[in-house]
Structure 1
Amino acid sequence: KIDYYSTDGDLVKSYLTETIELPAMATLNYIVEKEEDKGGSGAKFIIEVEGVDETVKPVIEAVMIGNFSNKGFAFSTQGTPVL
């Protein structure tokens, strides 16, 4: 599951409607458009994954890029497990 939540904790969008299987070393990309403002400044994703066993540890990372006038910016952040 890949769910996108607003600053207030409200579900904005569910990105998956059915289970998918990724092969080893595969990648998924999801884009939140620049004009999207429903998430607010504290928007977040909750991602649920299942592996063959407990040794499977996915790498989950978000990348933000943008620009204002002639200035550009970019940053990335790693996902944090929520138990």
Structure 2
Amino acid sequence: MRRMLLALALLLPALPALAEDVRPSAGQTVYVPVYSHIWHGNLDAKGKPQMLLLSSMLAVRNTDPDDGFTVTSVRYYDTAGKMLREFVAKPARLGPMASTDFFVEHKDDDGGTGANFVVEWKADKPISPPIIETVNAYFFGPHSLAFTSPGRAIVK
């Protein structure tokens, strides 16, 4: 049974992704999870797990081959929901198939385990919505960890 579960776990990432139901949009507010640190390992004598600090890169990728859009806001929040900073001083235009990114340093643990970005964008007409996600990473010495966190459109 263990071998079957292990085989299944190894094969699932190789399967083709199912197509999403993507609808054109003229703008969205997108929530994106961030992991500025994660708990891991066993609990110590005080009942606390070990903490691993991660860097996080927010990627905003225009998937529309014909039209651009404007990123109007990129806010970074901590676990308690307190806004830590706004990354966009003035609206930034992204052309067709263009991308931009925003970075939270490895040493910045202010966000906590429940940190998040809220990204707002708008277009002049309905377009293919962008892909907005974070890449959370740790690369030091022989140890490395990297994973993505997809954004999800929310109702504001």
- TM-score normalised per structure 2: 0.50
Trace 1:39-78 onto structure 2 (pairs within 5 A).
39-67=111-139, 70-78=142-150
Instruction: State the shift of 1:61 in Å.
Output: 1.2
Equivalent residue, structure 2, for 1:22: 94
If asked which structure has higher relative contact order (CA below 8 Å, sep 6+), I would say 2
Equivalent residue, structure 1, for 2:104: 32
Give the greater-gyration-radius structure (CA): 2
State how many pairs are aligned: 83
Whole-angstrom CA distance in 1 between matches of 2:88 and 2:138: 26
Point out the structure with the larger helix share: 2
Instruction: State the shift of 1:42 in Å.
Output: 0.5
Task: Give the ranges of 4+ consecutive aligned residues of structure 1 lying more than 4 Å apart after TM superposition.
Answer: none
Structure 1 gap ranges (5+): none
> What's the CA shift string for 1:26-68, capped at 9, x where partnerless?
1111110000011111000000000122334111011011046
Equivalent residue, structure 2, for 1:13: 85
Whole-angstrom CA distance in 1 between matches of 2:143 and 2:105: 19
Instruction: State the shift of 1:71 in Å.
Output: 1.8
Point out the structure with the larger strand share: 2
Aligned CA RMSD, in angstroms, stands at: 1.3
